[in-house]
Structure 1
Amino acid sequence: MKTTKNTRRNFIQKTLMASGGIILAPNFISCSDDDDLQVDYDESQLTVQNFTYGVASFDPSNSGVIIWTRYMAADVEIIWEVSTQNDFSSILRTGKITTESSRDNTLAIELTELEADQKLYYRFISTSDNSISVVGETITLPTDATQAKLAVCSCSNYQAGLFNVYDAMANSDADIIVHLGDYFYEYGAGGYGSTEENAFLNRFHEPTGEIISLDDYRTRYKQYRSDASLQLAHQKKPFICVWDDHEIANDTFKEGAENHDEATEGSFEARKQNALQAYSEFLPFSRISADDNSVIYRSVNIGNLVNLVLMDTRLIGRDKQLNITDYFTATGFDAEAFQTALTDPTRSILGTTQRDWVISEITSSSAKWQVLGQQVLMGKMNVPAELLTAFGSPNFAAILTELVTIKLRLLNNDPTLTAEETARVTSVIPYNLDAWDGYPIDRELIYGALNGKKIVTLAGDTHNAWQNTLTAADGSEVGIELATSSVSSPGFETYLGANVNAELIAGFQDAMIALIDELNYFDASRRGFMMTTFTTTEVTSEWIFVDSILSESYSTEVGYSLTYS
């Protein structure tokens, strides 16, 4: 069947801004209408080839969405089509765009002025070789929503195992997949995530070394996007993404990273720009700053139901993390020096500009649910100082048991508790200074600005599942935290010793819940995602786990569920 389509379109080519030879803005085409475009091809002659990385869509709104693909060659004219029918019997939008080597032949079209609450289908065609992409599925958001279902994930390590979690989300009834970062890892082949147990999968990183150059980052994205399960998730669901640290380098902050050595790896700023350029090519996002791809924080409104405030706790404003070991001296832990550093009002995880924006977004919103989509745990994860120093030692289990016993006696108002015993469980310090616990001033500034509004915080990063009650310094409850496990990255189970088993893991989980005041649920060993559903009256979240990342045959189960109103 030969097809000829006449439509009207109007392209606006967004400005590219270069700095130091590095393009900072992605090559978006923004499309609000159609010109008189003649598209002439024989659909029966088209074959699936040269669109080997699939299709994707990003950042749906009530009037638009971004559609994406990558073609295998530069300087090739590609036709894109959008329809409300999966057979493309009528075309809603169409146009042409030419691939460019400057953005690794990736294509991103930002569709605007669409009708709200639509299911859309899209595809890409090259008449130069008669190739066609798979058909992608996406949506525009409603203006009057009564329900929104988000699949929330983070931390996918190609070397650590199969992406069954992506497959499960692709086949779920989620409206949107929210990815909270660590979309990939920067380490070389055989590094973090590789074990004797998963070596048979032959999922070793490409390129083989740690990634630093622009070509390195692009190659790593292409390896991950060659995975069939990840391709399926992108094909079936629109993604809303923010980066964490590993899209650049481990434990990134605004001026450097733990996993970057300027003496041997060159300028961190150059590496960061390489990482952000590749990110914008493979994971495009709608911007509040059109000319700067380092500003990823933004908000997504799902009707008047959900105000999803996406934050960057990693790159744009974060001061360098504190290191707890710096405060241990020959005579013990220097609590005074640690508290002075921890409560330094000049230290920030967001930066002043972003923090003010976040507060304004929350306080000015009339949406039912104020949802913070971000990377690291916000809840206060304070553990007995004694336990932190014992972690990894042979007597860790014995000390943990003693402390839990004391804490339970304290909660039950046991009059026989001694002052020394009480001090063992009340002398606490944050276990993870890379999270909000390392930046308590910023956290309290946000809590203090809520004016009675309750927040729902989404978090990733830790590779484990958590649920916290969020409380301000004065003890008032300000909301809840829902933290997802990982797609494949290993969790706490890898730190519990060679003889770890289900009973030991369960005991450790129960102990942490007993010792950490804000913590209500903790899974230390399983891979999965959260399915979080918002309605006009409540939030329901299910922590869904896969039983294997070492076999393509897998099953899922709900490990925990919560309803909040």
Structure 2
Amino acid sequence: MYFNDSVREDENRAPFPECFLTGSAFRVVNGSSDIETKAYYATQPAGEGFPQSVASGDPTSSGMMIWTRVDPSLEAGASDIEIGGGGFEWPNKPHDKNNSSFADLIDQGKTVMFQVSTHPNFSFVELSGFSPVWKDHDHVVRMDLDGLLHPNETYYYRFITRSGLVSKAGRCRTLPPEGSDCPAATIGYVSCQDYTSGYFNALAHLADEQMDFFLHLGDYIYEAAGEASYQTGLEARQITLPSGEDKAFTLEDYRHLYNVYRTDPDLQKLHENHAMVATWDDHEFANDAYAPAVAPDDSLEPDLKRRHSANSAWLEYMPSRVYVPSRSSSSNALKLYRSMTIGDLATLYITDERAYRDAHPCGEQELERYFTDGCENIHSPDRSMLGREQKDWFLGELKNSSSLWNIWANQVQITQLKFLGRYINLDAWDGFAHERQAIAQTVMNKGIQNFIVLTGDFHSFEASYLQEDYSRDGHKFGVELMVGSVTSSNLNEMVQKNLNNLFDHTSPLPQNATLEIFRTFLPDALSKRIIPTEFLFKELQNAIKIENPWIELFDSTSHGYALLELSKSRAVWTAYAVESIEEKQASKSLLLQCEIPNGEAAINVKEKNSLFG
């Protein structure tokens, strides 16, 4: 069955066979199989023919998604019609008998053999089989091995073509069974990785960490990719889109962005070493996007074709488990929101805060979205970021949780953030205060303990208290832990670039809002250029902390990643910063660290090495 039959005739909207979306288009081979496997063996150096390497994602206690892409100049692949419409159905169990059509795909070299082993040298293969190379979907391979592997086990996987190409080996780990005793777990997380702004050396360091998986909280790509003269990124990292535009609008544009990003050696290393759990934010489509498919910086009219192109590329390149509705008119209806459990230790809730959200509350001009007095519409009960169905699901999951820790993979800042009495960012949860309060009331009224929110988006490291109301004596009921960006500009860089009249598409605040902050806070910084940038930023950062006392730790000078280490007695949050993003290799250092004791909404600071503290 095709997903989105209504746009099947539009070649730029890439309808998906359901077996592609579910990752079910593969066949496991065992010793008694009638399928010939001897023709698939490695004869080439590992990695040749697989320019985007490999990736895994969404681990469970019995499997995970695995992914690769085969060079289309070396392997033809199979069309959707051949794979999903060739007169046969993919079996409910991937080792069931199938008809001759599948064997024909294998004989023609339109598939890859996958191998899964507990040994890095594949001396013994626990699981093997075949999956098609999806010609109509940028030659990716995508499959879901859930139900086929054992819990609490480290696995290695690779792909082999009939022509002898073999991928690098990927490594991933299955989770403990739901409800089973789990003494500890470690989750890494990142967000906001603009390729043109710098090198992904933070991801290389994250790849070396010992962790169960990593979270990507969004802005995996940036849709803006103009010329070096227009941006402030590194010249060696510039991207030219197939359309020739400065922003991605077509399926080919979005595919090209993922194609280029995934050639980065540091991003490849991270994917090869660890499974990813991902959601999207706005830049996978367009800045500050909201439903239905509106990109307010470009047009206030919905652009369903562009949104579908962006979603299609995301689905093709992300090893993520999505839930497919039986009937739908747009890939926006795919459910990215989901939960996963780690034994009895934790439940992770992954939400989608773009596909269902309402427009900004006070208007779509930059100074109506950023550094604004706000409006009554912020508190309207008719407005939603999550949408009714996702909100009901999320609150229901929280109420029914029996896990020790409840972790929310959230994209945009949930704690209130004001400066000089104005809201800094109404694209975040400050623009949806009524729904934020409904979440807070559920957590407090149901006595949900150990509620931790992991956040990205604002390009800053931050540890803050979740409060019933954001006043100096507001009741605390949880903790928000924000990770800084991998490369996208932080507030310190925003100050420097704006004082030098440099445009930056990755800044956490738009240029007009930044200039208005300067005019209001320290007007001489603009009119006379007499205030040193370092002093200006120190004053700005300190003023933010004073006006928002629920912020315990704050740093917007660094790039890096964060780890959350969970145990039965505490959660430990550690933020690491890299020395530079302008060099391919850079050392890392411990930036911030705090501890959240079991049963307490408390932030006990252990390390604070921020430049401006």
TM-score range relative to shorter protein: 0.7 to 0.9
Give the match for residue 370 of structure 1.
406
**Which amino acid in structure 1 is aligned with residue 578 of structure 2?**
V
Change (3 A) 1:534 1:326: closer
Select which of 311, 314, 321 maps to 2:354.
Answer: 314
Change (3 A) 1:119 1:318: farther
Change (3 A) 1:153 1:56: same
In the alignment, structure 1 residue 20 sits paired with structure 2 residue 7: yes
Deviations 1:186-228 (A, max 9, x none): 0132379932xx4343433544421111111111110100111
**Residues 408 and 452 in structure 2, CA contact (< 8 A), matched pair in contact too:** yes
**Residues 66-465 of structure 1 correspond to what in structure 2 (within 5 A)?**
66-73=65-72, 74-75=77-78, 76-113=110-147, 114-127=149-162, 129-143=163-177, 144-190=181-227, 194-195=231-232, 198-207=233-242, 208-209=244-245, 210-255=247-292, 256-261=294-299, 268-289=303-324, 294-323=334-363, 338-385=374-421, 429-450=422-443, 451-454=446-449, 455-465=451-461
Distance in 1 between the 2:166 and 2:305 partners?
A: 36
Distance in 2 between the 1:553 and 1:346 partners?
A: 49
Distance in 1 between the 2:581 and 2:383 partners?
A: 39
Report which stretch shifted further, 435-444 or 286-295: 286-295
Report which stretch shifted further, 319-328 or 136-145: 319-328
Give the match for residue 413 of structure 1.
none
**Residues 40 and 161 in structure 2, CA contact (< 8 A), matched pair in contact too:** no
Give the match for residue 555 of structure 1.
587
**Which amino acid in structure 2 is aligned with residue 223 of structure 1?**
V
- Say what the alpha-carbon RMSD is for the aligned residues: 2.5
- Following superposition, the deviation at residue 316 of structure 1 comes to 2.2
Residue aligned with 2:286, SS: coil
**Which amino acid in structure 2 is aligned with residue 65 of structure 1?**
M
Change (3 A) 1:324 1:100: closer
Distance in 1 between the 2:591 and 2:241 partners?
A: 34
Select which of 516, 519, 522 maps to 2:548.
Answer: 516
Change (3 A) 1:38 1:307: same
**Residues 294 and 316 in structure 1, CA contact (< 8 A), matched pair in contact too:** no
Residue aligned with 1:447, SS: helix
Select which of 13, 24, 40 maps to 1:29.
Answer: 24
Change (3 A) 1:222 1:327: closer
**Residues 158 and 205 in structure 1, CA contact (< 8 A), matched pair in contact too:** no
**Which amino acid in structure 2 is aligned with residue 212 of structure 1?**
F
**Residues 201 and 550 in structure 1, CA contact (< 8 A), matched pair in contact too:** no
Distance in 2 between the 1:235 and 1:247 partners?
A: 22
Change (3 A) 1:261 1:326: closer
Change (3 A) 1:199 1:325: closer
**Residues 225 and 238 in structure 2, CA contact (< 8 A), matched pair in contact too:** no
**Residues 564 and 571 in structure 2, CA contact (< 8 A), matched pair in contact too:** yes
Distance in 1 between the 2:469 and 2:372 partners?
A: 22
Residue aligned with 1:439, SS: helix
Structure with the bigger percentage of strand: 1
**Residues 418 and 548 in structure 2, CA contact (< 8 A), matched pair in contact too:** yes
**Residues 381 and 519 in structure 1, CA contact (< 8 A), matched pair in contact too:** no
**Residues 27 and 131 in structure 2, CA contact (< 8 A), matched pair in contact too:** no
Distance in 2 between the 1:243 and 1:72 partners?
A: 26
Change (3 A) 1:81 1:19: farther
Give the match for residue 392 of structure 1.
none
Deviations 1:240-275 (A, max 9, x none): 000000001110101212233378xxx611111111
Change (3 A) 1:192 1:524: farther
**Which amino acid in structure 2 is aligned with residue 508 of structure 1?**
L
- Following superposition, the deviation at residue 491 of structure 1 comes to 1.1
**Residues 493 and 500 in structure 1, CA contact (< 8 A), matched pair in contact too:** no
Percent of pairs with identical residues:
27
**Which amino acid in structure 1 is aligned with residue 270 of structure 2?**
A
**Residues 307 and 370 in structure 1, CA contact (< 8 A), matched pair in contact too:** yes
Give the match for residue 51 of structure 1.
50
Change (3 A) 1:334 1:200: closer
Change (3 A) 1:258 1:359: same
**Which amino acid in structure 1 is aligned with residue 537 of structure 2?**
I
Deviations 1:455-504 (A, max 9, x none): 10011011111111000139221100000100100011233234754454
Distance in 1 between the 2:145 and 2:27 partners?
A: 6
Distance in 1 between the 2:456 and 2:141 partners?
A: 28
**Residues 193 and 490 in structure 1, CA contact (< 8 A), matched pair in contact too:** no
**Which amino acid in structure 1 is aligned with residue 468 of structure 2?**
A
Residue aligned with 1:449, SS: helix
Change (3 A) 1:300 1:495: same
Distance in 2 between the 1:430 and 1:230 partners?
A: 35
Distance in 1 between the 2:392 and 2:283 partners?
A: 26
Change (3 A) 1:84 1:512: same
**Residues 466-485 of structure 1 correspond to what in structure 2 (within 5 A)?**
466-473=462-469, 475-485=474-484
Distance in 1 between the 2:419 and 2:305 partners?
A: 38
Where do 5+ consecutive residues of structure 1 fail to align? 1-13, 386-428
Where do 5+ consecutive residues of structure 2 fail to align? 9-13, 79-109, 501-530, 598-613
Distance in 2 between the 1:516 and 1:367 partners?
A: 31
Give the match for residue 83 of structure 2.
none
**Residues 452 and 478 in structure 1, CA contact (< 8 A), matched pair in contact too:** no
Distance in 2 between the 1:93 and 1:237 partners?
A: 19
**Which amino acid in structure 2 is aligned with residue 317 of structure 1?**
R
Residue aligned with 1:270, SS: helix
- Following superposition, the deviation at residue 16 of structure 1 comes to 4.4
Residue aligned with 1:40, SS: coil
- Following superposition, the deviation at residue 145 of structure 1 comes to 1.8
Distance in 2 between the 1:194 and 1:84 partners?
A: 46
Distance in 1 between the 2:532 and 2:113 partners?
A: 54
Deviations 1:84-131 (A, max 9, x none): 11111111111112212221111111002221101000000012x211
Query: Across the two proteins, how many residue pairs are aligned to each other?
Result: 497
**Residues 60 and 146 in structure 2, CA contact (< 8 A), matched pair in contact too:** no
- Following superposition, the deviation at residue 174 of structure 1 comes to 2.3
Residue aligned with 1:141, SS: coil
- Following superposition, the deviation at residue 31 of structure 1 comes to 6.3
Distance in 2 between the 1:522 and 1:227 partners?
A: 29
Change (3 A) 1:204 1:327: closer
- Following superposition, the deviation at residue 137 of structure 1 comes to 0.4
